[in-house]
Amino acid sequence: MQVRAGIFDSGVGGLTVAEALHRLAPSLPISYLADTAFFPYGNRTAEEVADRALVLARTLIAGGATVIVVACNTASSAALERLRAELTIPVVGMEPPVKPAVERSRSRTVAVLATTGTVSGARLARLTERHSGDATVTTIAMPGLADLVEAGETASERVRTMLSDALRGPVAEGVDEVALGCTHYGFLRPTLAALLPASVEVLDAAEPVARRVLAVMAEAGQDVPAGPPQEVLCYATGDADSFEATIQRLRDGGAALPPLRVLRPVA
């Protein structure tokens, strides 16, 4: 059986998941689909996002994907159950790392940074209720932050100001764990580390999700092939040149990215 992981997101954010998956299983063929024509998802209804997610998943399946990774918290919240009901291959979704953040918190005070769509979604509310326990979990909507990352901005003055303003209060209240609820925010870890006290830990879900993908594939009898490291094949539904330019800006800024080959746009 020829296996291939198909990953999609609204833009470049899910490349954090692709990087983790490639690092753990470099010989695994990976296709990455960036839905830049519909970016950002946070401005769309849950129904629109779910409909779009189904189109993207089916596009990846048509390209040979044997497992689908919804590398977007907003799309996972809106579409995960529907994708699992309508598709015949395994589907792995994202969720903000609330549980590990609460488990690791010494102060019992946790902040979750997420898009407006994720903050308003029922999935994050259920997750927080299930795992908060005796901890105080504060969710903070960050409108516009993913847009800056999508443009390749990860350490600009605008980004630093936005993060500082959002986290000043929570840090003063004793937050010691910051959970990232958007895959785009994974590219902001160095900036967050520079802004936050050394006592505050930043968690994202990219590597845990990558490990889950490999476990799900193994359970489904999908063995990762032996062989040399593979390039991640990337497609954008919008302008491919703009997508490549963003990737280059992220690389120039020191972002960890897998070897990528950007192909022509898809519908």
Sorted by where each begins, the domain ranges of the chain are 5-94+206-262, 98-203
Contact by Cβ (8 Å): 83, 59: no
pLDDT at 265 over 60: no
The residue from 5, 33, 182, 250 that is catalytic is: 182
More confident residue, 96 or 214: 214
Would residue 234 show up in a list of annotated catalytic residues for this protein? no
pLDDT value at residue 118: 83
Would residue 182 show up in a list of annotated catalytic residues for this protein? yes
pLDDT value at residue 119: 86
Mean pLDDT value across residues 13-40: 97
pLDDT at 35 over 80: yes
pLDDT at 259 over 80: yes
Contact by Cβ (8 Å): 143, 119: no
Mean pLDDT value across residues 196-219: 96
Query: What's the burial of 17, exposed, middle or buried (CB within 10 Å: 0-12/13-18/19+)?
Result: buried
pLDDT at 266 over 70: no
DSSP line for 46-65: HHHHHHHHHHHHHHHHHTT-
pLDDT value at residue 42: 78
Question: What's the pTM?
Answer: 0.92
Mean pLDDT value across residues 182-206: 95
Nearest to 110 by CA among 135, 73, 127, 129: 135
Mean pLDDT value across residues 226-230: 95
Mean pLDDT value across residues 190-209: 95
Assigned fold of 5-94+206-262: Rossmann fold (3.40.50)
Percent of the residues in the chain that have a pLDDT greater than 70, as a whole number:
99
ω before 40 within 30° of 0 (cis)?
yes
Nearest to 92 by CA among 170, 36, 38, 14: 14
More confident residue, 124 or 265: 124
Helix axes of 122-131 and 73-86: crossing angle, nearest 10 degrees? 100
Contact by Cβ (8 Å): 79, 176: no
More confident residue, 44 or 8: 8
The residue from 18, 34, 49, 72 that is catalytic is: 72
Nearest to 56 by CA among 263, 242, 264, 236: 236
Assigned fold of 98-203: Rossmann fold (3.40.50)
What span, in angstroms and rounded, lies between the C-alpha atoms of 228 and 231? 10
Domains 5-94+206-262 and 98-203 share a fold: yes
pLDDT at 123 over 90: no
Entry field: residues in the chain: 267
Mean pLDDT value across residues 28-43: 93
pLDDT band at 120, cuts 50/70/90?
Answer: confident
Mean pLDDT value across residues 199-211: 96
Q: What is the DSSP code (8-state) at residue 223? A: P
